[in-house]
């Protein structure tokens, strides 16, 4: 179906952003080749995947601050990333005010989890109970934010609001993981932090008011990659009884073989620009391109998907990552895993954040809540 009119202005802005990024890349390369250049080529801005929201950013107080305190300097690119991350945080704040939906005031607690051989990771726990949980404990879910592996954080206004609304409406304890961002901390740092957070959640379940028998994982976009990878790591190492994997617009194959670029053609975004932008995500996250074939980087490419938890996968019609979601659902079903894939028509990658203005976003939230409520069974 046609793109929802709500996205028309955002699409215009995003197209301009992508073209500017491509033009900036060409200029930087030409400047580097020009023999009379007086200095280094200008730093390229780090772009994101999906929509204009994904301008690279990692604001202070969010997005792996625990890890970032000791992050090594990366030359002139680091300053450019810091500027863009600051700008994107401001963008996110405006979007929540204009077209988002604030979350309810529920109880939250902050925790820092140690990670063997990696930076410690911050976890914010959202408690839906006003005071004390039921004696038998509530379901819990470990959640990972989106942002192309290089942006975002649990303190982003739209991310925080979504966690509050989901915890409250579904009656589950949400443990939001502030994993370290690339390129400062490339793969597999975030995967190991995800696993440490899961181990901590099971070990701390009694103190957190969580029922160990009713725990799942969830993630959006790059966060869905981490959630899916975490189910593989858990199966391969400890086999905690995970009950659900909820994956929203997941990227699960960093080789790019399952990208569906037909989704960008009606948006007026040339194939080469869309492909360049999406491939840049993998280049930022992976220290070595060959790592894209590893199962914990590309969960779709795992040798086996046996023994993984039931999956609910949500994709968007105008999102090239829809191919990843379709393929991963099919791979899980072939392995005998209960998996469903739902595609939302007429909408784009960042649909869930527009709950204050877009009916499809409110329906998306309702479907997420329904999936999380399965943990109560």
- Model confidence pLDDT, tens digit, residues 159-205: 999 999 999 999 999 999 999 999 999 999 999 999 999 999 999 99
Task: Please give the mean pLDDT across all residues of the chain.
Answer: 87
Structural domain contains residue 72: no
CA torsion angle 62 64 66 72 (round to 10):
-120
- For residue range 205-215, list pLDDT tens digits in order: 999 999 999 99
Q: In angstroms, how far is CA 349 from the centroid of its own chain?
A: 11
Which residues form the catalytic set?
221, 319, 349
- Is residue 321 domain-resident? yes
Structural domain contains residue 45: no
pLDDT score for 157: 98
| Tens digits of residue pLDDT in 86-118 | 988 999 999 999 999 999 999 999 999 999 999
Asked if the structure places residue 73 within a domain, the reply is no
Residue in 314, 305, 306 with CA at minimum distance from that of residue 371: 314
Range of the domain at 338: 96-376
Q: Please state whether beta strands 311-318 and 107-115 pair in parallel, antiparallel, or not at all (unpaired).
A: unpaired
CATH number at residue 107: 3.40.50.1820
State what percent of residues in the chain have pLDDT above 70. 82
Residue 21 CB: number of other CB atoms within 10 A? Answer: 19
**Residue 278, domain member (yes or no):** yes
Q: How many domains does the chain have?
A: 1
Domain presence at residue 259: yes
């Amino acid at each position: 179906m046609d793109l929802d009119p709500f996205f028309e202005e955002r699409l215009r802005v995003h197209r301009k952003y992508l073209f500017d990024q491509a033009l900036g890349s060409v200029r930087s390369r030409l400047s580097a080749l020009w023999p009379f250049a007086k200095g280094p080529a200008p730093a390229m801005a780090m772009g994101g995947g999906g929509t204009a929201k994904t301008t690279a950013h990692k604001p202070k107080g969010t997005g792996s601050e625990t890890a970032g305190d000791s992050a090594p300097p990366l030359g002139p690119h680091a300053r450019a990333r810091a500027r863009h991350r600051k700008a994107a945080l401001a963008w996110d704040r405006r979007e929540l005010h204009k077209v988002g939906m604030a979350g309810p005031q529920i109880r939250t607690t902050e925790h820092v989890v140690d990670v063997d051989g990696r930076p410690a990771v911050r976890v914010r726990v959202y408690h839906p109970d006003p005071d004390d949980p039921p004696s038998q404990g509530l379901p819990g879910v470990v959640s990972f934010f989106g942002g192309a592996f290089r942006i975002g954080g649990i303190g982003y206004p739209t991310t925080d609001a979504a966690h509050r609304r989901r915890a409250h409406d579904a009656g589950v304890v949400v443990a939001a993981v502030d994993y370290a961002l690339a390129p400062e901390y490339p793969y597999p740092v975030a995967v190991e932090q995800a696993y440490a957070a899961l181990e901590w959640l099971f070990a701390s379940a009694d103190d957190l008011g969580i029922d160990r028998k009713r725990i799942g994982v969830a993630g959006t976009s790059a966060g869905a990659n981490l959630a899916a990878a975490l189910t593989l790591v858990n199966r391969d190492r400890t086999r905690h009884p995970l009950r659900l994997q909820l994956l929203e617009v997941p990227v699960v194959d960093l080789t790019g073989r399952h990208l569906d670029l037909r989704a960008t053609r009606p948006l007026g975004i040339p194939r080469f620009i869309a492909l360049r932008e999406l491939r840049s995500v993998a280049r930022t996250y992976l220290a070595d391109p060959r790592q894209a074939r590893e199962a914990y980087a590309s969960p779709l490419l795992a040798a086996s998907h046996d023994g993984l938890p039931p999956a609910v996968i949500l994709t968007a019609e105008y999102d090239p990552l829809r191919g990843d979601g379709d393929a991963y659902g099919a791979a899980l079903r072939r392995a005998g895993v209960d998996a469903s894939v739902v595609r939302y028509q007429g909408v784009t990658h960042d649909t869930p954040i527009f709950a204050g203005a877009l009916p499809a976003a409110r329906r998306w939230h309702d479907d997420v809540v329904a999936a999380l409520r399965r943990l109560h069974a």
